[in-house]
Structure 1
Amino acid sequence: MERKKILLRLDPVVHDALARWASDELRSTNSQIEFLLRRALAEAGRLPDDVARMRPRGRPKKVPDEESTDGDTGETG
């Protein structure tokens, strides 16, 4: 499912606080906002049962390229 794109206007001080909090938790600012919205929806009993899970926080793990696993660097010489 394609994720929705929205324009969100925030007070700069609120944005800075969110960005610091997100950094502390190894999330992007966008992911931190989504995390907080999901938590608020759950606490209010309004989070749909069929909502997709959030991705784990932190950077995604690198998947090795199939081409680079054969030892060939692609260089000629």
Structure 2
Amino acid sequence: MTPRPRKQVLLRLDPAVYDALARWAGEELRSANAQIEFLLRRALGEAGRLPGAAGPLPRRGRPPKNPGGDTPADE
């Protein structure tokens, strides 16, 4: 399945709120953007408003070198 393009939005935050969010994200090894999405999804889920069509959170870290399988093709 082809991943859907990500929606880009401009978000204005109080600098102190952003700093706290960025610290929290760093502690959980996420970017500030990933932390915001994580928190929004959690809030939507708790409120019963997360759409069923929402895909999973993107995987953290680098993409696999060989996305088609577990072993390189030359082995």
Query: Which TM class, normalised by the smaller chain length?
Result: 0.7 to 0.9
> What TM-score results when the alignment is normalised by the length of structure 2?
0.77
Higher helix share: 1
Distance (Å, rounded) in 2 between the aligned partners of 1:61 and 1:34: 19
| Whole-angstrom distance in 2 between the partners of 1:61 and 1:48 | 26
Which residue number in structure 1 is paired with residue 19 of structure 2? 16
Give the TM-score normalised by structure 1: 0.75
Q: Which residue of 2 is the match for residue 49 of structure 1?
A: 52
- Deviation at residue 62 of structure 1 after TM alignment: 5.2
Structure with greater contact order relative to length (CA < 8 Å, sep ≥ 6): 1
Gaps of 5+ in 1: 65-69, 71-77
1:60 is matched by which residue type in structure 2? R
Task: Say what the alpha-carbon RMSD is for the aligned residues.
Answer: 1.8
Task: Give, in whole Å, the separation in 2 of the partners of 1:51 and 1:62.
Answer: 23
1:60 aligns with 2:40: no
Structure 2: stretches of 5+ with no match in the other structure:
67-73
Task: Compare CA radii of gyration and give the structure with the larger one.
Answer: 1
| Distance in 2 (alpha carbons) for counterparts of 1:15 and 1:3 | 21
Cα distance in 1 between the residues matched to 2:53 and 2:11: 25
1:31 to 29, 34, 58: 34
Deviations 1:7-42 (A, max 9, x none): 100000000000000000010000000000000000
